[in-house]
Amino acid sequence: MDYKEIARGVKADSFKTASLSCEVRDGALKAIIASLREHKEAIFLANKKDLQRAAQDSLPAPIQSRLRFDEHKLADCIKGMEDLAAMEDPLFRQLLKRQLDEGLTLVKTTCPIGVIGVIFESRPDALVQISALCIKSGNCAVLKGGSEAANTNRALFDCIFEAGVAAGLPQGFATLIEDRAGIDELLKCHESVDLIIPRGSNAFVQYIMTNSKIPVMGHADGICHVYVDKDAALDKAVPIVIDSKTQYAAACNAVETLLVHRAAADEFLPRLAQAAGTSIELRGDADTCRLISCKAANSADFETEYLDYILSIKLVDSLEQAVEHINRYGSHHTDCIVTENQQAAELFMANVDSAGVYQNCSTRFADGFRYGFGAEVGISTGKLHARGPVGLDGLVTYKYKLFGNGQIVADYASGAKEFHFKDL
């Protein structure tokens, strides 16, 4: 396969996709829903093959569970697609309409980014969600899923592709890459691919970032914090910390480090230790170790994304010190303050330099579904373009259209004409 040639074809189709009406795009989503329902047995069968191989290869239980695509996952996918189809069109939205002068009108309009390469983990539902987001936002998707889900991905893709094309999408709307080598080929297609969204390990995302000229949106690390303030309600703090750590320990939005105000530590830490029991390994700084029995944390602990049932703990003297620690060691992902003091919460939220700044709730809420976006294509810890969970909004850009009737700049430079700005 000549990937550059394929990418060029996708690029050409992306201009067609960009011009499709919302009716056609929503129609395609509905056609795909119908097709997924119709072909579900074939999809489940393909998934069975993947699950069998995963069991043979003794893959870790969380990966096997992520791999499963059953009635329940299908229903979730379909619900997400229905939500997307019902959402307002993210394209052709006028962000600005301004008269620059008589007969010279500037219009800023949303449009798709173009061709988006998404590389994702072995989770077949991700393929459906990402495809759906790209269809709704008028982008062409080049998809590479984890190889453990190869059979399921192929079955889902065939279903989506055929229904999409039959509903009027150009062939380039979705392309499936099935070999690992295809990733490196994709990274070379900077002339045709506008954006890469990699999901996966820190090392993998770093690899993508350093091996392509294509802009990358995503997150390498997810070192999230919960800070228990001196004015915290401890009956909220304990479950928030436990949920942030254990509700899904391998997620990027799970908490890795707990910061506790010294004034709250005496009472809070024993309660936390009790709630954690033996299910979470606690690693505390020297002060923490004096208050509860736990392993000693070394400085590397505060730079580590465990993705496991391990939590590092540090006492701080003030909210300012907590903020400083988070901005220094954190991943600018999601960080939470537990406090009943609104002023403290505002200070924390203003000064913590993260995509998500929370008060009194679990860091695990950082997710496109939970934000009501219908689906997410990933989470960005960068500060440009899209930040946090990336839904439809993050998949569009804009262009400036300027409509004139012969205006030239020399007339304005000479003073013969003047600009008369007026927002319309």
Binding range to a copy of itself, per CB under 8 A, among 140-148, 173-181, 303-311, 369-377: 369-377
Structure tokens at 9: 């074809």
Q: What is the dihedral of CA 398, 82, 219, 61, to 10 degrees?
A: -170
Structure tokens at 2: 């000549």
Q: Which residues are bridge partners to 260 per DSSP?
A: 228, 315
Binding range to a copy of itself, per CB under 8 A, among 32-40, 48-56, 140-148, 345-353: 345-353
Q: Does 61 bind a copy of itself (CB under 8 A)?
A: no
Q: Does 403 bind a copy of itself (CB under 8 A)?
A: yes
Among 5, 23, 52, 239, binds a copy of itself (CB under 8 A): 239
Binding range to a copy of itself, per CB under 8 A, among 22-30, 118-126, 259-267, 342-350: 342-350
In angstroms, what is the minimal distance from the CB of 332 to a copy of itself? 9
Q: Indicate the SS3 state at residue 49.
A: helix
Q: Does 64 bind a copy of itself (CB under 8 A)?
A: no
Binding range to a copy of itself, per CB under 8 A, among 23-31, 59-67, 290-298, 383-391: 383-391
Are residues 331 and 356 in contact, defined by beta-carbon separation less than 8 angstroms?
Answer: no
Site for a copy of itself in 93-122 (CB under 8 A): 98, 100, 104, 106, 113-114
Shortest CA distance to 152 belongs to which of 44, 40, 31?
44
Other beta carbons less than 10 A from residue 307's beta carbon = 17
Rounded distance between C-alpha atoms, residue 153 and residue 131, angstroms: 12
Q: Does 240 bind a copy of itself (CB under 8 A)?
A: yes
Binding range to a copy of itself, per CB under 8 A, among 71-79, 153-161, 239-247, 265-273: 239-247
Rounded distance between C-alpha atoms, residue 287 and residue 271, angstroms: 16
Binding range to a copy of itself, per CB under 8 A, among 39-47, 52-60, 74-82, 344-352: 344-352
- The one-letter amino acid at 112: P
Rounded distance between C-alpha atoms, residue 166 and residue 168, angstroms: 5
Rounded distance between C-alpha atoms, residue 393 and residue 370, angstroms: 16
Q: Does 58 bind a copy of itself (CB under 8 A)?
A: no
Q: Which residues are bridge partners to 140 per DSSP?
A: 115
Count of positions on this chain that bind a copy of itself (CB under 8 A):
70
Which of 58/299 has CB closer to a copy of itself? 299
Among 357, 377, 390, 392, binds a copy of itself (CB under 8 A): 357
Q: Does 203 bind a copy of itself (CB under 8 A)?
A: no
Going by their DSSP bridges, the two strands 334-338 and 224-228 should be labelled as: parallel
Rounded distance between C-alpha atoms, residue 392 and residue 115, angstroms: 14
Q: Which residues are bridge partners to 281 per DSSP?
A: 310
Q: Does 335 bind a copy of itself (CB under 8 A)?
A: no
Q: From residue 31, how far is each of 74, 166, 167, 391 by CA, in Å?
A: 15, 8, 7, 21
- By residue count, the chain amounts to 424
Q: Does 260 bind a copy of itself (CB under 8 A)?
A: no
DSSP conformation class of 55: H
Q: Does 277 bind a copy of itself (CB under 8 A)?
A: no
Structure tokens at 22: 């919302």
Q: Does 309 bind a copy of itself (CB under 8 A)?
A: no
Shortest CA distance to 70 belongs to which of 152, 142, 5?
152
Q: Does 409 bind a copy of itself (CB under 8 A)?
A: yes
Under the rule (CB under 8 A), what is the footprint of a copy of itself?
A: 15, 18-19, 98, 100, 104, 106, 113-114, 194-195, 215, 217, 233, 235-236, 239-240, 242-244, 247-248, 323, 327, 345, 349-351, 353-362, 364-366, 370-372, 382-385, 387-389, 397-410, 412-413, 419, 421
